[in-house]
Structure 1
């Protein structure tokens, strides 16, 4: 099948082909594999695997602190389509920084303790176990002026958005100057509207 954009002259807007590309047979095959996956991997196993990954990842700050930092990262920069593994990868450098600098370890440990204490006072559970996003965001708003919050928020900007594996998920094609710039390579693409 010919792509609708093959014969575009420079400076013209591309046309998106909105016709579905999924065939019935492919849908049925994918649905069957998904059902097998659900039957084989129970939800408790997935949650346990995440907890094991957090415990192994945060050797210096501890699994509870790591779990809180991942939850906090997701609440500060929420993207429903991103897996927790990307957030884990974004906050993992804090564990290494805690080894190199004791003041960073103290800031993170005390910040998480304070956040958990606030959550327990208000909701009866630690921050990572607070049920709704709105409740967790309210807790974060209470501490947004603290050095702890600013440290986490600032580190997440580069830790999350500088991850090249995520760029395609956000629709970012990466640096363009090596390829002649954006003027003839998507400057006027408006398929996101």
Structure 2
């Protein structure tokens, strides 16, 4: 927009820029309140930003779906982060658990966990800590935090609740031809 067209519309430069900034912000923020892309890494957190980013990578490695963007994994990790805001014990579990995972990654691969290039190497690191309370906390959170995001359900073929639609039986789900 040119300066003359802004003036012709009866807007001051300041009002135009404020409106443009608001529009840009609205385009950046999703309806769920999450920022798209990797901008989630800049949002205030209880955990350190590098811990949060590593938890997102860990989430992707635990439940890998190539069609799902990182923002959905970040949504699941935000649940952990929110719990850590209210509980110093939870924050310590996350920070110390990720620090230990980073040390193991650095020892085995010369880089922190999130920077280990090969997915198989990251998965091997996760298998080694699988019995730990840290891993179990993150994994357990992901089951609900990731798969309970309604905008992801169509990717998995889940239509949502059936009760409000009259159940499954009369909607094409009664085709159990493999049962005798």
TM-score, length-scaled by structure 1: 0.69
CA distance in 1, matches of 2:103, 2:144: 28
CA distance in 2, matches of 1:189, 1:152: 37
Q: How does 1:78-97 map to 2 (within 5 A)?
A: 78-97=64-83
Answering whether residue 116 of structure 2 is matched by residue 130 of structure 1, we say yes
Q: State the aligned residue count.
A: 140
The Cα of 1:188 is off from its aligned counterpart by 5.1
The Cα of 1:189 is off from its aligned counterpart by 6.9
Find runs of 4+ consecutive structure 1 residues off by over 6 angstroms. Answer: none
- The equivalent position to 1:163 in structure 2, one of 130, 133, 149, is 149
Indicate the residue corresponding to 1:13 in structure 2: none
The Cα of 1:55 is off from its aligned counterpart by 2.7
Answering whether residue 60 of structure 2 is matched by residue 53 of structure 1, we say no
Indicate the residue corresponding to 1:40 in structure 2: none
Is residue 40–residue 71 contact of structure 2 (8 Å, CA) maintained in 1? no
Q: How does 1:28-107 map to 2 (within 5 A)?
A: 50=38, 52-57=39-44, 59-107=45-93
Is residue 55–residue 62 contact of structure 1 (8 Å, CA) maintained in 2? no
Answering whether residue 91 of structure 2 is matched by residue 109 of structure 1, we say no
The Cα of 1:178 is off from its aligned counterpart by 1.7
TM-score, length-scaled by structure 2: 0.74
The Cα of 1:96 is off from its aligned counterpart by 1.5
Is residue 106–residue 112 contact of structure 2 (8 Å, CA) maintained in 1? yes
Task: Give the superposed CA RMSD.
Answer: 1.5
CA distance in 2, matches of 1:83, 1:188: 33
